[in-house]
Amino acid sequence: MKITQPIWALGAMSGTSLDGVDAALIKTDGEVIAGFGRHDFRPYSAAEQAKLRAALGQWHGYPDVAAAQEVVEAAHAALLAQFKAEIVGFHGQTLAHNPAGRGTHQAGDGSVLADLLKTPVVWDFRSADVGLGGQGAPLAPFFHFACAKWMGAQTPVGFLNLGGVGNLTYVDPSRGKPEDKGALLAFDTGPANAPINDLMQLRRGLAFDADGACAAEGTPDAAIVDRFLGHGYFFKIPPKSLDRNDFDFLSEAVSALSDSDAAATLTACCAAAVGRALQHLPQPLKLLYVAGGGRRNPTMLRYLREITGLDIRAVEDVGLNGDMLEAQAFGYLAVRVARGLPTSCASTTGVLATIGGGVISYPG
């Protein structure tokens, strides 16, 4: 696919929070951002979420994977058919992630969507990176680099995404390309919304802690937070990545606490993980821009400010869309794949060589 100027790409993301599918248009040549277009969200029903949850931790061929894949493909097809684009970036739904072992597994076949949408689809973004010794995550940093350029940043900035899992990107916008030495450092910080969402679903039948209200009424259990920070993950040098279920012990740890104290403790764990993550950056930051559902949680943001001492702002402050940033990222990465440009490097995933991931499926 020959691309010589910015085109409209459609990115889709179904995150570890399991809330639904984000879709967003972005105009780009895979290097600069030329514009942002329409976006939309398609929530998963309770029945669909149940099928996805049943398949978490499972690999190709496992009992619940086929049903989960049908949910992912049908939900994406229904939403993406409402857009017009020249190329689609389809992330799929991560069910299992173990780069040091079995690899990474995103449910959803891009060739199915290519036929349904009659549009080229780029998918399986992570496997090539893992195959070359990388973590396969996070993949948004190359897009974050383009965002820093688009917003006119002159000094290093940080992008913190608080989805099911948290991830942090340090960007030095003075560098020419995202793969240049010193341009980026990125890694997963720790659990973010996933354990809080699971708690609210279990205790109150709610999808999430709206406005952090439950956590705001509680007090974090300092002993649990300290135990959490003793996990071996926090002593690893980045780049590094996590699976959604790598901190499953937290659910048991807060089981004896009240709803509000449990929510406060899990929220404090997320913020404390970010505080630890900042210690790995090449130089201190003054500003941290937050995307993902966590930016709508005032209790989370308060804990972050208290722990980090940083100016914490939603990405909307610089004209970005915190709900759609990851979807836009996969539209951007799709164009990079089509052009043969890299999508990850040693400082973002630990991959042994700068590499362009992704498979392109064409209609028919």
Closest Cα to residue 87, out of 16, 1, 167, 166? Answer: 1
pLDDT in tens, 115-138: 999 999 999 999 999 999 999 999
What is the average per-residue pLDDT within 298-303?
97
CA atoms in the 13 A half-sphere facing the CB of 57: 6
State percent of the chain over pLDDT 90.
91
pLDDT of residue 54: 96
- Please report, for the chain, the start and end positions of each structural domain, with discontinuous segments joined by +: 7-135+324-361, 152-318
What is the average per-residue pLDDT within 12-40?
95
> Which ranges of 167-293 would DSSP assign to H, the alpha helix?
193-204, 213-216, 222-229, 249-253, 259-278
- Token pair, residue 362, equals 């064409």
Residue 199 has pLDDT above 90, yes or no: yes
Angle at the Cα of 150 from the Cα atoms of 148 and 155, rounded to 5 degrees: 35
**Cβ-contact 111, 121 below 8 angstroms:** yes
Helix%, strand%, coil% for the chain, nearest 5: 40, 25, 40
- Look over the chain and give the mean of its residue pLDDT values, rounded to a whole number: 96
Q: What is the pTM of this model?
A: 0.94
One fold for both 7-135+324-361 and 152-318? yes
Closest Cα to residue 33, out of 153, 169, 172? Answer: 153
What is the average per-residue pLDDT within 55-73?
96
**Cβ-contact 140, 22 below 8 angstroms:** no
CA 186 to chain centre: 12
Assigned CATH class of 7-135+324-361: alpha beta
Assigned CATH class of 152-318: alpha beta
Assign 256 a pLDDT band (cuts: 50, 70, 90): very high
pLDDT of residue 309: 95
pLDDT in tens, 179-196: 999 999 999 999 999 999
Assign 246 a pLDDT band (cuts: 50, 70, 90): confident
pLDDT of residue 16: 79
The CA distance from 273 to 293, in Å, is 17
